[in-house]
């Protein structure tokens, strides 16, 4: 058969299943962004006391979007005091039924403004618009809906015991799911009766600050939610403030460890949602086409910027060649490019710093002897992009098999027996998630007991639900988010 090539990307050969191309389908609605974002403290947007701002850029074009307020310790102090006042004056005393109404209102407002939020998330963070639109924003609203229902039923979380909120909660979140991580943190905190000071990640502050506008629109009492944007020092000021009785951190294991060290000896309650290096295990009796979709979703969803990404594929030796061939065919048709295009599968890497980290780890894979394969697709001339990449001949000692890459890079290892699969899957300092693909229910049950991971998906991957607790073991952290277990973290139980 004669070779055919892409019209928009002549370097790319059109392969099986790729016999037509998509015309550009850009999302064009107005995300209603401001040129400058101030801090959201005590129900109002206020400039930082030192009047310092930093730029947030669109990682797909490397152009500035807006100036973001940089909160220092004095701003954080004002926010924590506002939260404490709201807790003792209004929110802590309010009946759960009334608190629930505010959460429902926030959930509905997020739905009303969903399109605007999805575009803002994609512009600021680089993720494909179809993911912001179909996953991040609806899931953020779902977390508020779910927790709204709990607000007047807290006593059922610990029957026969007394539950009470902690007071002021300090929360620090990463950049990979900006609004969704905010919802994971703020929804249970408010349902439980706490007030919040939250710091978003420095590269993705916009949707968190827009969430302040939602709080205003919902008529949330002043001070119940406070958003302080900034970098490391701002985060440190939030977690160390004497009024924050509970600290919830999501981010890298390295920073998580330094926070634990800095809080040792205090009586603050702590939850840590940290990094991962998940094994996605495919047995020879698995439905292979379905498994290949799961492998692709597991590692290329959100450009691989996913703590629970299936970044290590463990495939049974007898089917390894077949799986690899199917995988190569599948990734050849992934569309990498403008995150605002509705057909894009992989958008921009979140920052130049992250792109450098991914590039460096991929180089180490080649240097250490693994075999690299990428689709060779043409990347946009500007912006931070990385091709979907897979490595074969990976050994457990390679850095790419041990370190979290947090990018669209899959390492493939093989195994012969279920015991070897468990041994290899658990041979990591992390323990956040895993996937098992097999036809046998008994094998799923056995594997999920033996795998040291907080979440084990069976014949699927990267599925989330507000009712389901999420969290890790070992260096992936402790504590849970979501479900009854996640809500209990925001309550004192006596």
Footprint on this chain of ligand NAD (rule: CB under 6 A): 172-176, 199, 201-202, 231-232, 235-236, 239, 250-252, 255, 258-259, 273-276, 307, 404, 406, 432, 472, 476-477
Does residue 307 carry a catalytic annotation?
A: yes
Toward ligand NAD, which CB reaches closer, 144 or 406?
406
* Cβ-closest position to ligand NAD: 235
| Closest distance of CB 41 from ligand NAD, Å | 18
Active site residue 195: no
Q: How far is the CB of 376 from ligand NAD (least distance, A)?
A: 28
CB of 196 to ligand NAD, least distance (A): 15
- Of 80, 195, 307, 377, which residue is the catalytic one? 307
| Residue among 186 and 307 whose Cβ is closer to ligand NAD | 307
In the complex with ligand NAD, the residue whose CB is nearer, 154 or 225, is 225
Active-site hit among 116, 131, 273, 481: 273
* Pick 75 or 404: Cβ nearer ligand NAD: 404
Going from the C-alpha of 83 to that of each of 78, 102, 165, 256, 468, the distances in angstroms are 9, 16, 13, 24, 28
Nearer of residues 365 and 477 to ligand NAD, judged by Cβ: 477
Q: How far is the CB of 249 from ligand NAD (least distance, A)?
A: 7
Q: How far is the CB of 34 from ligand NAD (least distance, A)?
A: 21
Give the residue with the Cβ less far from ligand NAD, 194 or 311. 311
Smallest distance from the beta carbon of 26 to ligand NAD, in angstroms? Answer: 28
Of the two residues 204 and 438, which places its CB atom closer to ligand NAD in the complex?
204
Closest approach, Cβ 5 to ligand NAD, in A, equals 37
Q: How far apart are CA 82 and CA 71, in angstroms?
A: 15
Catalytic site positions: 273, 307
């Amino acid at each position: 058969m004669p070779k055919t090539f892409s019209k928009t990307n002549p370097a790319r050969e059109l392969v099986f299943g790729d016999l037509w191309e998509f015309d550009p389908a850009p999302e064009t609605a107005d995300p209603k962004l401001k040129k400058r974002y101030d801090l959201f403290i005590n129900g109002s947007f206020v400039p930082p006391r030192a009047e310092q701002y930093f730029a947030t850029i669109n990682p797909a074009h490397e152009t500035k979007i807006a100036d973001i307020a940089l909160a220092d310790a004095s701003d954080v102090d004002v926010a924590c005091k506002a939260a404490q006042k709201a807790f003792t004056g209004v929110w802590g005393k309010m009946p759960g039924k009334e608190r629930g109404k505010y959460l429902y209102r926030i959930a509905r407002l997020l739905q009303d403004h969903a399109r605007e939020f999805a575009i803002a998330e994609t512009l600021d963070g680089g993720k494909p618009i179809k993911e912001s639109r179909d996953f991040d924003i609806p899931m953020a609203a779902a977390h508020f809906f779910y927790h709204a229902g709990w607000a007047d039923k807290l006593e059922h979380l610990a029957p026969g015991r007394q539950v009470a909120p902690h007071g002021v909660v300090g929360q620090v979140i990463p950049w990979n799911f900006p609004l969704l991580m905010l919802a994971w943190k703020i929804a249970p905190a408010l349902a439980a009766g706490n007030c919040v000071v939250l710091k978003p990640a420095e590269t993705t502050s916009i949707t968190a600050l827009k969430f302040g506008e939602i709080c205003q629109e919902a008529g949330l009492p002043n001070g119940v939610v406070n958003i302080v944007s900034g970098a490391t020092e701002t985060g440190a000021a939030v977690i160390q403030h004497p009024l924050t009785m509970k600290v919830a951190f999501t981010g890298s294991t390295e920073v998580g460890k330094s926070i634990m060290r800095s809080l040792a000896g205090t009586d603050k309650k702590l939850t840590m949602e940290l990094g991962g290096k998940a094994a996605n295990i495919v047995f020879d009796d698995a439905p292979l086409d379905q498994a290949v979709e799961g492998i692709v979703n597991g590692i290329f969803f959100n450009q691989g910027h996913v703590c629970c990404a299936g970044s290590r594929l463990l495939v049974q030796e007898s089917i390894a060649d077949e799986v690899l061939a199917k995988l190569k065919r599948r990734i050849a048709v992934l569309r990498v490019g403008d995150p605002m295009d509705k057909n894009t599968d992989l958008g921009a890497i979140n920052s130049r710093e992250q792109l450098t980290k991914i590039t460096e780890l991929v180089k180490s894979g080649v240097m250490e002897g693994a075999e690299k394969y990428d689709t060779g697709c043409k990347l946009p001339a500007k912006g931070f992009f990385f091709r979907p990449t897979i490595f074969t001949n990976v050994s457990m000692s390679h850095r790419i098999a041990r370190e979290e890459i947090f990018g669209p890079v899959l390492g493939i290892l093989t195994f012969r027996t279920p015991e070897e699969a468990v041994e290899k899957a658990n041979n990591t300092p992390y323990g956040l998630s895993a996937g098992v693909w097999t036809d046998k229910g008994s094998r799923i049950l056995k594997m999920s007991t033996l795998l040291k991971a907080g979440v084990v998906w069976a014949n699927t991957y990267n599925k989330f639900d507000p009712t389901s607790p999420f969290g890790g073991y070992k260096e992936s952290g402790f504590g849970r988010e979501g479900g009854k277990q996640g809500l209990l973290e925001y309550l004192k139980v006596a």
